[in-house]
Structure 1
Amino acid sequence: MESKLLLYLKFENNIADSSDNHINGTLIGGVNYEQGVDGSGKAIVLGGLSSPDRISIPFDPSFQFSNEITISYWLKINNKRGTDGNGNEKTEGFHSIFQGSKVSNLLYTNWGNSTFYYPSNNIRLQAGGILNTHEWVHISYVISANSAVSYVNGVKYSENSEATPIDLSTSSGFSIGRQADNWYPLDGSLDNFRIYNRALNANEVKSLYETKQ
Structure 2
Amino acid sequence: MGVDHYITNLSASASAVVAFAEARNKIAAVTEFGATTDGIDDSTNANYYMDFLTYIKNDAVARKVAWVLTWRNGSPTHYWVPRIEDIHYDGFLKFFNDPFTAFENDIGDYYSYNFGTSIAPFCGLRGCEAGETCSSCPGDCGLCLMQKQDPIAHWQFDDASGATALDSSGNGNTGMLVNGPSWATASENNSLRFDGLNDMVSVEDGPLLSFTNTFTLSAWINLSAVDRSQSIISKGKCNINWVEYALEVGSDNKPRVFFSEKSADNQIVVASTALGPNTWYHIVGTYDGSAERIFVDGTLSGSLYTNHAMFDSTANLTIGARETDGSTICSGDNTVKELSGSIDDVRIYNRALTAEEIKSLYNAGASGTTSGARVSRPQHPTGLTAW
Task: Say whether the fold is shared (TM-score over 0.5).
Answer: yes
Question: Counterpart of 2:192 in structure 1: which amino acid?
Answer: I
> In structure 2, the residue corresponding to 1:206 is in which secondary structure?
helix
TM-score normalised to structure 2 length: 0.48
Question: How many residues get paired?
Answer: 196
Higher helix residue share? 2
How far apart are residue 69 of structure 1 and its match?
Answer: 0.4
The 1:144/1:57 distance shift into structure 2, 3 A limit, reads same
Q: How does 1:158-197 map to 2 (within 5 A)?
A: 158-162=302-306, 164-181=307-324, 182-197=335-350
- The CA distance in 2 between the partners of 1:170 and 1:31, in whole Å, is 25
> In structure 2, the residue corresponding to 1:207 is in which secondary structure?
helix
Contact residue 228 and residue 250 of structure 2 kept, 8 A: yes
Decide which of 221, 228, 235 is 1:93's aligned counterpart.
228
- The CA distance in 1 between the partners of 2:303 and 2:232, in whole Å, is 20
Contact residue 282 and residue 297 of structure 2 kept, 8 A: yes
1:141 aligns with 2:285: yes
Structure of higher CA gyration radius: 2
1:122 aligns with 2:266: yes
Contact residue 77 and residue 134 of structure 1 kept, 8 A: yes
How far apart are residue 62 of structure 1 and its match?
Answer: 1.5
TM-score normalised to structure 1 length: 0.84
How far apart are residue 68 of structure 1 and its match?
Answer: 0.4
Residues 23-59 of structure 1 deviation map (CA, whole Å, 9 limit, x = unaligned): 11211111222268xx77321110113xx21110101
Question: Counterpart of 2:157 in structure 1: which amino acid?
Answer: F
Question: Counterpart of 2:357 in structure 1: which amino acid?
Answer: E
1:5 aligns with 2:151: yes
- The CA distance in 2 between the partners of 1:135 and 1:128, in whole Å, is 17
The 1:204/1:161 distance shift into structure 2, 3 A limit, reads same
CA RMSD, aligned part only? 2.1
Higher strand residue share? 1
Does 153-162 or 2-11 show the bigger shift?
2-11
Q: 1 or 2 for the larger relative contact order (CA 8 Å, sep ≥6)? A: 1
Decide which of 7, 17, 22 is 2:172's aligned counterpart.
22
Contact residue 230 and residue 338 of structure 2 kept, 8 A: yes
Partner of 1:208: 361
Residues 156-182 of structure 1 deviation map (CA, whole Å, 9 limit, x = unaligned): 1111112x3432544333111111121
Residues 40-99 of structure 1 deviation map (CA, whole Å, 9 limit, x = unaligned): 7321110113xx21110101221232210000010100122xxxxxxxxxxx32222222
- The CA distance in 2 between the partners of 1:43 and 1:118, in whole Å, is 26
Question: Counterpart of 1:99 in structure 2: which amino acid?
Answer: S
> In structure 2, the residue corresponding to 1:73 is in which secondary structure?
strand
Residues 113-152 of structure 1 deviation map (CA, whole Å, 9 limit, x = unaligned): 1222212442211126221111000010010111111111
Partner of 1:43: 191
Runs of at least 4 residues off by over 6 Å: none
- The CA distance in 2 between the partners of 1:65 and 1:209, in whole Å, is 24
Does 140-149 or 170-179 show the bigger shift?
170-179
> In structure 1, the residue corresponding to 2:356 is in which secondary structure?
helix
Contact residue 256 and residue 285 of structure 2 kept, 8 A: no
How far apart are residue 22 of structure 1 and its match?
Answer: 2.2
Runs of 5+ consecutive residues of structure 1 not aligned to the other structure: 81-91
Contact residue 127 and residue 139 of structure 1 kept, 8 A: no
Contact residue 233 and residue 321 of structure 2 kept, 8 A: yes
Runs of 5+ consecutive residues of structure 2 not aligned to the other structure: 1-145, 237-243, 325-334, 366-380, 382-387
Contact residue 74 and residue 138 of structure 1 kept, 8 A: yes
> In structure 2, the residue corresponding to 1:198 is in which secondary structure?
coil
Partner of 1:87: none
Partner of 2:248: 106
